[in-house]
Chains A and B, each alone.
Chain A
Amino acid sequence: MNEELHIKLQAFLDGELPEAEAREVGSLIASDADAAALHRELKQTRAALAGFEKRITVPETREFYWSKIAREIAREAAPRVADPQHSVFSFWRRLFPVAGVVAALLAALVVINRYDPRSPVGIEVAQADSDAFTYRDYEAGTTLVWLSYPAENGLAQENTAGKIN
């Protein structure tokens, strides 16, 4: 017995099948022993449960009860119309404290970072070497500053005697 037939038998018992389909299922119950047995079982189960269902009652009549629910849904779905007089002031009241905090944050960042917009390459030279040049390899994170310091005064010792060639 497949699930589809099981569902149809249940629907037949609940009176939810269209007329043509109900006639079909009725014929099946009459001709098929399995279908008849299942129909009997479902019928018995239904009867047993019906006796345990507690009837729920509402305080008002059915129509009045549901109309109350429908009105409540419609009321909550309706857009709130803002009071034009109060909305402008309430907006500015919310904005001023936030704007003040943002301004304070920016001031703090400037003081802490001492931002200097005149240094696009990120090097500030206090004692300028006019012949020095700077190269930046952003990918490798390397900055080269090449100085025009005289070669004869080389800072590294290339020979064991420590003398300059």
Chain B
Amino acid sequence: MKLPTLCCIAALLLVSGLTAVRAAEMRLEAQLIWASNTAQSPNPKHKPVDAEVRRKLAGLPLKWTHFFEENRKPIRLTAAPQKVELSDKSAVEVRQLPADKVQVTLFGNGKEIWKGVQPLPKNEILVLGGNAPADSAWLVTLKRIE
């Protein structure tokens, strides 16, 4: 088989492979986290975040030392955007884009407060955060599992 023919076949295989990667389903996990410098949360529903999340948050320039998980929701992305309620005041909508990217929309108290497009390879985490009363903070994390 001649070289030009081989190149054409290789190109077709590569393009079809890239297209297949684009269409692969993403699985994420969203968490709502309360951050504080107190060792114990006043909310009995709160539980300390797991070790992996704690390790990742510790690497960020956050002044808080304790992180408590308030809610956790799995998200299975398909062609349509997926919205999950994390609390009665917060929700996050995620849409899968090509090349390992996601479009994230954060809702607070029913209103859209942030929207962005972010590369999110497997095992990486996107953290959205803001200040909360009593020198605490809220964090919404999106971790890609698959």
Contacting residue for A145 out of B14, B18, B114, CB 8 A: B114
**A126 & B119 in contact (Cβ 8 Å cutoff):** no
Contacting residue for B43 out of A105, A139, A157, CB 8 A: A157
Interface bin, chain A: 35 or more
Interface residue ranges of A84-99 to B (CB < 8 Å): 94, 97-98
A148 within 8 A of B: yes
Report if A143-B133 is in contact (Cβ < 8 Å); known contacts: A112-B18, A132-B114.
no
**A143 & B117 in contact (Cβ 8 Å cutoff):** no
Interface residue ranges of A114-165 to B (CB < 8 Å): 114, 122-127, 129, 132, 135, 137, 139-160, 162, 164-165
Q: In the complex, A145 Cα to B138 Cα: how many Å?
A: 12
Residues of B within 8 Å of A143, CB to CB, are: 118, 124-127
**A142 & B56 in contact (Cβ 8 Å cutoff):** yes
Interface bin, chain B: 35 or more
**B133 & A165 in contact (Cβ 8 Å cutoff):** yes
Report if A158-B136 is in contact (Cβ < 8 Å); known contacts: A94-B3, A101-B7, A143-B126.
yes
**B70 & A156 in contact (Cβ 8 Å cutoff):** yes
**A101 & B87 in contact (Cβ 8 Å cutoff):** no
Which residues does A use to contact B, with CB under 8 Å? 94, 97-98, 101, 104-105, 108-109, 112-114, 122-127, 129, 132, 135, 137, 139-160, 162, 164-165
Told that A141-B121, A153-B108 touch, could you supply 18 new A-B pairs with CB distance under 8 A?
A101-B4, A101-B7, A101-B11, A108-B18, A114-B97, A125-B114, A125-B117, A129-B114, A141-B124, A143-B124, A144-B60, A147-B114, A147-B128, A147-B129, A153-B89, A153-B109, A154-B89, A165-B134
Can you offer 9 A-B residue contacts whose CB atoms are under 8 A? A123-B117, A135-B60, A142-B57, A142-B125, A143-B124, A155-B132, A155-B138, A158-B43, A164-B133
